[in-house]
Amino acid sequence: MLEVSRLTTRYGAISALRDAELRVGSGEVVGLIGPNGAGKTTLLGSIAGLLSPAAGSVTFEGADITGHSPEKLLRLGVALVPEHRRIFGDLTVEENLKIGGITQSRDERAELLDEMGERFPVLREKRTVAAGYLSGGESQQLAIARALMSKPRLLMMDEPSLGLAPVLVDVVFELIESLRSQGRTLLVVEQNATRMLEAADRAYVLRSGEIVAQGTGAELRERPDLFDTFVGGNGQ
């Protein structure tokens, strides 16, 4: 479904991502793990049209989407839940969700709103509340629900568990599991490598701007050279 080939992205003279190769098959849940500053957000942003790659290509369902804008990608079925949620604090929960469904027809949008209400009861309960008043866990649910409103064929998430209390981290991983059981295709950046490897079919390990390993959780956990990916605060 998604093929990333030799993708390189620079910030000025710094190559934050070098020759990245990555593939996500339809219905797969793929994790992207690695220490702070490894380039995970850069890779996701380069796929999602937030950053312009200096070299390489991104292909989605056979079409070259390298450098496409986020709006164009949304219409093609590629959605991103960005780091730090980035929801509209002054707008209500429901207004945020409607914005997520902007590419859908009116009827479809209403149907999706109902679906999100069932999946995220707290969002239904607080639908008239300004999103700025939501807790961290609720905001994350809203950010994910907003992305789901676009009926994405590929959903990418950047650090969905970041800054959440442990019980809410569980909620996020339960949600990933439930999306996976529905056959959704996900690419998820996570600092929490241990949990991500349990939740994903496969994962890629990024370090200093390069993909240094890929495989199933079982395969990656057996690699002693990747030990530092799972400890030192990144695997907890």
Residues near ligand ATP (CB under 6 A): 11, 14, 16, 34, 36-42, 191
Rounded least distance, CB 205 to ligand ATP, Å:
11
Rounded least distance, CB 16 to ligand ATP, Å:
3
Rounded least distance, CB 209 to ligand ATP, Å:
7
Closer CB to ligand ATP, 77 or 163, in the complex: 163
Cα–Cα distance measured from residue 130 to residue 224, given in angstroms and rounded to the nearest whole number: 47
Cα–Cα distance measured from residue 63 to residue 3, given in angstroms and rounded to the nearest whole number: 10
Distances 191 to 132, 171, 204 between C-alpha atoms, Å: 25, 16, 12
Find tokens 């999306």 and name the residue: 179
Nearest residue to 62 via CA among 12, 135, 3, 127? 3
Closer CB to ligand ATP, 23 or 207, in the complex: 207
Closer CB to ligand ATP, 183 or 233, in the complex: 233
Find tokens 């209403």 and name the residue: 110
Rounded least distance, CB 67 to ligand ATP, Å:
17
Closer CB to ligand ATP, 40 or 68, in the complex: 40
DSSP 1: -
